[in-house]
Chains A and B, each alone.
Chain A
């Protein structure tokens, strides 16, 4: 069991990382990474939604008619996203405003739908739950990595605490959209070159060719 969990995590976080390997869910991965704190909140939200919707899909998988399963999955995901949205609005309105529509857009984040369809449909609830967490952690790791560099170079700070001192000239470029695209491109390059895929090979190119 422990080995199985370890395996799921190593797939979700490194070898089959949803963002760098499968090129899924990059809309929000790029939009919220200008500040570390935004990325952290978004990552936690996604881990919550991914794990619980995988769990729910897996529990009801035997009673769901095959041809309407997509609709059922979407509704389950939407329900969890509404919970995240309401909790955020109630306890952290400033963050809710900063993330804007991107919380709602977790619904169309292909990572969650992908895990429900590929994994939770065919696996028991507990493993599906862990798989959801693993994918969410993989996604959050990429988010935090990108946000680390964007915030450090763009604002000279980490989590809002000034690191690089007063003399640092902010790279405004990094907080603008192009900075996000370049960072993710470079990250995918690094991941493809140094992290082997699930068959142990170094893949020649990423998911979408």
Chain B
């Protein structure tokens, strides 16, 4: 596997976007996309945590789990590490950048159960990326996720007063908007393709 890390980076933003192609991180994607400002805050936090955990999980997987033949424990190890990392970030941010802490608020702890975080770590193992590739994959996926949630929040703010059929209002119309966004992102598929 020697794919240029830059190609992985571009691919994970546009062609293999975490939400629009891999369906990861949908829960908070729908719940927190009502306003651009909060969406942007969550997007930043996810990007940061994704980059950090993909690097740390890579190191732990290849330097502790593989040498001792404990690969099957990866689910537990990854999720504990993610939870611990989120907790640590929360404490550091609270101590040194209180303004950012208050603007992110409840989103930080919620990130632990964001499927995109665990998903990136699992994809990294399955696709056999090296350390640099994993770091760029994590960063790119985070930026792609942030891009998608901010775009969705923008659209949802615009349609707030639109006459939508009663049963479709809420989650239904949001999923259809995401579908249209996914269609638009397929247009990027010529840029870079990594599977």
Q: How far is the CB of A48 from chain B (nearest CB, A)?
A: 15
Bound complex: CA A60 to CA B151 (Å): 44
- Determine whether the beta carbon of A208 is less than 8 Å from that of B30: yes
> Which B residues, 140 to 176, have Cβ-Cβ distances below 8 Å to chain A?
165-176
- Determine whether the beta carbon of B171 is less than 8 Å from that of A104: no
- Determine whether the beta carbon of A27 is less than 8 Å from that of B26: yes
- B182 CB contacts on chain A under 8 angstroms: 176-178, 181
- B22 CB contacts on chain A under 8 angstroms: 31
Of A35-43, A105-113, A120-128, A153-161, the one contacting chain B is A105-113
A59 at the interface (CB under 8 A from B): no
> Which A residues, 162 to 204, have Cβ-Cβ distances below 8 Å to chain B?
176-182, 184-186, 188-190, 192-193, 202, 204
Q: How far is the CB of B185 from chain A (nearest CB, A)?
A: 9
Chain B binding site: helix, strand, loop or mixed by DSSP? helix
Bound complex: CA A152 to CA B77 (Å): 39
- A190 CB contacts on chain B under 8 angstroms: 167
User: Nearest A residue to B113 by beta-carbon distance?
Assistant: A108
- Determine whether the beta carbon of A110 is less than 8 Å from that of B170: no
- B170 CB contacts on chain A under 8 angstroms: 192, 205-209
A95 at the interface (CB under 8 A from B): no
Closest 7 CB pairs of A and B: A181-B179, A205-B170, A185-B175, A101-B122, A206-B171, A193-B167, A192-B167
CB pairs A–B below 8 angstroms (28 shown): A26-B27, A27-B24, A27-B25, A27-B27, A28-B23, A30-B23, A71-B83, A82-B76, A86-B72, A105-B119, A107-B79, A108-B113, A108-B117, A113-B113, A177-B23, A178-B179, A185-B171, A185-B172, A185-B179, A186-B172, A186-B176, A188-B175, A189-B167, A190-B167, A192-B166, A204-B169, A205-B170, A206-B171
